[in-house]
Structure 1
């Protein structure tokens, strides 16, 4: 496949998976209204999806470093959709937790392999990786609209209809895998030859992504309820706010890739953290409908570094690209859900605004962690390194050589 075609298919497939990450938060207002969940119980649903996903990410990342597992792409897509599709059936709280946890496991299985394949298909271009990330953010943005259209009009018993994006995504994955079989060099590769790991920098980067995750998942979980408190109105007002939060992420991802082509990735990440501090404060303090504007700015600030952090992590751990992708694209993103029950308990004891106020500090902590982070050198490839087909063996990375061949024609 051509690079643009590969990235487009992977991006749409990414959207079909991440719609289920966004669907968990989008279901919260309906669970609160129709099952009477409190803040702590509602945040427990988010924790169930995040916790299993967080625990499983390193396992799947290590697996993709050891061998090619392309079948994970369609299988994990389907699993993510089935979990959410079953979450509205039956009123038992434990059953709901189990279903969203199953969906989280599917999300965990998808991201390490997809990040490796996308980086290879992107041929090292930041803008191409940004478009891949855009797919995931678009899935997030569509989730509130999809849930509102299905659950808002027909009730929680209609959640089985939410499996449709997973079926579409599974079909797309099969198309990608068939093309990869015809041209085996596309999805292969793990690490550039001769690369050395910078574990200390990777750990600091991962901690910065965790801080960002706490903000994003905290707002995703409680923003719809908070907006309804501040502005009044029905669940629609909260759904609109959540849509703005996710849509701004799509804009931020593309903007981040463009900015990284002009400045280095670490500098762009630092500045986005400072923007996020002011924007989150605006969400909590600015009165009236201007809250929606602050929400959009918060989303852009949080998502400008999103794809950049994935490639930074892969460059800091060139011998473990799958692990790096699994942590930066999956684990460090979903682990923020662990903080949601704490936010919920504080909100039950005080107020929702009081519980959300500490989120202002999280982007500042990210900035401190990134402040002295080095910009890694681009990955290098040994001369004459072969491009190998997808097998169960460890493979040599080849995206720099793809770039080299293209520029010397």
Structure 2
């Protein structure tokens, strides 16, 4: 392929690839969502404390958190397309262990394997989204991310339909999801390999006359990580413990309580998809600010609402809170151009790590302080969104962004 053809290819949005990685993200995150969704079941069957439940979430999320930045950093320098299907094999093995686990330690091994699969999927698939995006990076990241949100939202509803009647062993059905993800990842890996082979051999980077200072980039990254802290620790409180709150507060069954979590995550799927277009219309910084801080009024009211309005507030929280994540990732990629894998690995890794650490800490607090205290105190986390006002404006970010041109 000639250099001019390569340049034109890079300006085309490859929707077939974007839909493929979104589908794999859906299947992967469906499997991950099974873990917190079966917490009420394994707490009884394995006689676990809330603290042990928190440690299970920590083991899965911390595994993904620690490995993702390193994988992203390494593949920025040396792309490895066929890591994508290999990662799914870790997940497949983890699913089998999860279905058969008869002890706390076996459950830890199962979720570590699932975490390893995610640690490969997220930075590498995010890179594929970047490569397949052409000029529509926000939309591409939203398409990729919305698959994950759909998968996450399926966990609670699957608990009501599968795990309540079938128990823990019902997880074995998800081996079919993992096998399907493996087949799709083989297709993606083939495209990825071909795309790399057809890229121009050399490139150079031209920076704007007034790039952002290293200090500004550093504090901007810290602020973005604080946004992730706010979102994912609050989300951990909801996905891991809000069902217990509903069961205790309204005397709901586990299956009915899971429907509230499904409503929150399903609304989050819509919010994720809308994030890119909203950012294109109103700006990335404004969207990030709205997504985190705009959640606060609804999250603060949620612990005190009746059953009906709890469902309404869950939908509002889920929609607004999920608008910003894909926008945060694209914003960070533009802060650090040329380091797509590193940024994606760092941000997905931080997201998983914060969610896992948050679950472990919240589980211990729930044992000592009670579930209601956890839900009430975490409701104030979205107020951290005030920090988004300190981020560079979109115009400053665009003016300072590096412009890649072929040599």
TM-score by length of 2: 0.88
- Match in the other structure for 1:13: 24
Matches within 5 A, 1:8-407: 8-125=19-136, 126-184=138-196, 193-194=205-206, 198-365=217-384, 367-374=385-392, 375=394, 376-377=397-398, 379-385=401-407
Is contact 1:120–1:187 with CA below 8 Å preserved after alignment? no
**Contact 1:43–1:341 (Cα < 8 Å) also in 2:** yes
| Aligned-residue offset at 1:191 | 9.6
Alpha-carbon separation, structure 1, partners of 2:14 and 2:37: 33
CA distance in 2, matches of 1:280, 1:191: 47
Report the TM-score when normalising by structure 1: 0.87
Deviates more, 1:150-159 or 1:205-214: 150-159
SS in structure 2 of the partner of residue 193 of structure 1 = strand
The root-mean-square deviation of aligned C-alpha atoms, in Å, is 2.4
How far is the alpha carbon of 1:264 from its aligned partner? 0.8
Q: Residue 4 of structure 2 aligns with which residue? A: none
Kept in 2, the 8 Å contact 1:48–1:97? The answer is yes
Unaligned stretches of 5+ in structure 2? 1-11
Whether the aligned pair in 1 keeps the contact of 2:58 and 2:360 (CA below 8 Å) is yes
- C-alpha distance in 2 between matches for 1:203 and 1:35: 40
Q: Give me the whole-angstrom Cα distance separating, in 2, the residues matched to 1:294 and 1:187.
A: 47
* 1:294-332 per-position Cα deviation (integer Å, ceiling 9, x unaligned): 111111121000110110111111132211111223323
> Is contact 1:26-1:242 (8 Å) kept?
no
Following superposition, the deviation at residue 181 of structure 1 comes to 4.2
C-alpha spacing 1:322/1:144, structure 2 compared with 1 (3 Å): same
Q: Which moved more, 1:256-265 or 1:192-201?
A: 192-201
